[in-house]
């Protein structure tokens, strides 16, 4: 069976029956690198209840909160996600809120607790969207967020829940289930904040290895989809450079700048005292594919081919 990304292992067992986007992606051997959602500002609200299909609009939140939060976050350029501890058992007491900014060089996360979920509307989302503190308390640690949003895509539930169980058992303080983060066809998906690292094609064993490696300062190149603070071609460039240098230390490769000329993107990174330039050409497959379980409309898959890597 072909690997899901260069050097990567197969992404779990094939499922039978109805269409599954993750199974189809596995059969096409879709490349993982360069597929992370491009987001820097995240607002996470703990909500153990029903999430609905569209978060936060369809979630079982207090009346009107989902619509108002959706509008405010969209204006500020902030991605709203719902999170819950594994098991979905509601616990009494306040709910946790996280504000994270996935800057590719200096990411950060802050947190607080609220008795009333409506208090999130008091946060300065414009500041968060611009990369400034919305006024919460610094959070020293990572958030390991496994997508289990079955109402959005069935693959996220079927493949995500076993992974969420394994990650919660290995890292109970850092582990969260999270609503849709993008890339359903790569389920099970993991978002690591505040770094904005997206991982895909995980099963329970590989998820425990990836999360344990991250907490030790390492990235897993076999499952890394990209860094959400970078454009998709630049994500692919970082993964290619890391492979070329066999560099897996998370903080060892530092993005500096990029240029785009049509379908060609050039990105520069610092590694130690050296600067490297990576050139990537983006194309799209000729034949459209169905990329999610819930949407019948096919799309052309983008490909980010690395043309050149050299020391500048």
Q: Say yes or no to pLDDT of 116 above 80.
A: yes
Residue 172 lies in a domain: yes
The reported pLDDT for the residue numbered 15 is: 39
Q: Say yes or no to pLDDT of 149 above 80.
A: yes
CATH number, domain with residue 15: 3.40.30.10
pLDDT above 70: percentage of residues in the chain: 93
| Local confidence band at 91 (pLDDT 50, 70, 90 cut-offs) | low
Q: What is the mean pLDDT of residues 275-283?
A: 98
Q: What is the mean pLDDT of residues 119-147?
A: 97
Beta bridge partners of 79: 42
Residue 252 lies in a domain: no
Question: Residue 210: which domain range?
Answer: 1-230
Q: Which of 34-43, 44-53, 71-80, 266-275 has the lowest mean pLDDT?
A: 44-53
The reported pLDDT for the residue numbered 295 is: 81
| Local confidence band at 4 (pLDDT 50, 70, 90 cut-offs) | very low
Q: Which of 17-31, 95-109, 119-133 has the lowest mean pLDDT?
A: 17-31
Residue 300 lies in a domain: no
Beta bridge partners of 191: 145, 198
| Local confidence band at 10 (pLDDT 50, 70, 90 cut-offs) | very low
Residue 268 lies in a domain: no
Q: What is the DSSP letter of 229?
A: T
Distance CA 34, CA 6 (A): 12
Q: Which two tokens stand for residue 42?
A: 């995240």
Q: Which two tokens stand for residue 283?
A: 């194309």
Q: Say yes or no to pLDDT of 205 above 90.
A: yes
Q: What is the mean pLDDT of residues 113-141?
A: 96
In 3D space, the residue among 160, 13, 140 whose CA is nearest the CA of residue 88 turns out to be: 160
Residue 140, Ramachandran bin (φ over 0: left; ψ between -120 and 50: alpha; else beta): beta
Residue 56 lies in a domain: yes
User: Order of strands across the sheet with 302-311?
Assistant: 253-261, 264-271, 274-284, 302-311
Beta bridge partners of 261: 264
Q: Say yes or no to pLDDT of 6 above 60.
A: no
Q: What is the mean pLDDT of residues 235-262?
A: 98
Q: Say yes or no to pLDDT of 144 above 60.
A: yes
Beta bridge partners of 258: 267
Distance CA 153, CA 141 (A): 29
What is the phi/psi pair of residue 114, to 5°? -130, 140
In 3D space, the residue among 146, 144, 229, 231 whose CA is nearest the CA of residue 193 turns out to be: 144
Residue 163 lies in a domain: yes
| Local confidence band at 213 (pLDDT 50, 70, 90 cut-offs) | very high
How many domains does the chain divide into? 1
The reported pLDDT for the residue numbered 294 is: 83
Q: What is the mean pLDDT of residues 113-129?
A: 96
Residue 297 lies in a domain: no
Q: Residues 6 or more apart from 263 whose CB is under 8 A from it?
A: 281, 282, 283
In 3D space, the residue among 262, 264, 253 whose CA is nearest the CA of residue 226 turns out to be: 253
Give residue 151's Cα distance to chain centre.
Answer: 18
In 3D space, the residue among 56, 1, 38, 42 whose CA is nearest the CA of residue 201 turns out to be: 1
Query: Given the structure tokens 């890292």, which residue do they identify?
Result: 171
Average pLDDT, the chain: 93
- Is the CB of residue 79 less than 8 Å from the CB of residue 73? yes
DSSP for 142-167, written as a single string: -EEEEE--TTT-HHHHHHHHHHHHHH
Q: What is the mean pLDDT of residues 65-78?
A: 96
Distance CA 91, CA 106 (A): 33
Residue 301 lies in a domain: no
Q: Say yes or no to pLDDT of 8 above 90.
A: no
Distance CA 153, CA 4 (A): 20
| Local confidence band at 17 (pLDDT 50, 70, 90 cut-offs) | low
Distance CA 45, CA 33 (A): 28
């Amino acid at each position: 069976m072909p690997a899901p990304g260069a050097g990567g292992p197969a992404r779990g067992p094939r499922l039978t029956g109805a269409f599954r986007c993750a199974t189809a992606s596995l059969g096409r051997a879709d490349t993982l690198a360069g597929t992370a959602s491009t987001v820097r500002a995240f607002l996470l609200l703990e909500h153990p209840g029903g999430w609905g299909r569209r978060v936060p609009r369809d979630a079982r939140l207090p009346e009107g909160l989902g619509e108002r939060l959706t509008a405010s976050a969209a204006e500020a350029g902030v991605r709203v996600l719902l999170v819950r501890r594994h098991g979905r058992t509601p616990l009494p007491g306040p709910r946790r809120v996280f504000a994270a900014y996935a800057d590719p060089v200096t990411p950060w996360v802050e947190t607080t607790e609220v008795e009333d979920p409506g208090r999130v509307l008091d946060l300065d989302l414009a500041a968060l969207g611009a990369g400034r503190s919305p006024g919460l308390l610094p959070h020293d640690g990572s958030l390991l967020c496994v997508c289990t949003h079955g109402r959005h895509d069935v693959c996220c539930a079927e493949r995500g829940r076993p992974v969420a169980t394994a990650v919660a058992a290995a890292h109970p303080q850092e582990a969260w289930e999270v609503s849709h983060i993008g890339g359903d066809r790569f389920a099970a998906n993991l978002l690591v904040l505040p770094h904005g690292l997206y991982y895909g094609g995980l099963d329970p064993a590989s998820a425990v290895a990836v999360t344990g490696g991250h907490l030790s300062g390492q990235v897993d190149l076999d499952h890394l989809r990209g860094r959400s603070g970078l454009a998709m071609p630049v994500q692919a460039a970082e993964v290619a450079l890391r492979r070329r240098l066999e560099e897996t230390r998370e903080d060892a490769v530092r993005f500096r700048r990029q240029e785009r000329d049509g379908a060609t993107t050039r990105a520069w990174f610092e590694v130690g005292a050296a600067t490297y330039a990576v050139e990537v050409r983006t194309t799209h497959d000729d034949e459209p594919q169905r990329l999610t379980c819930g949407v019948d409309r096919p799309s052309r898959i983008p490909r980010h081919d690395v043309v050149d890597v050299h020391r500048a």
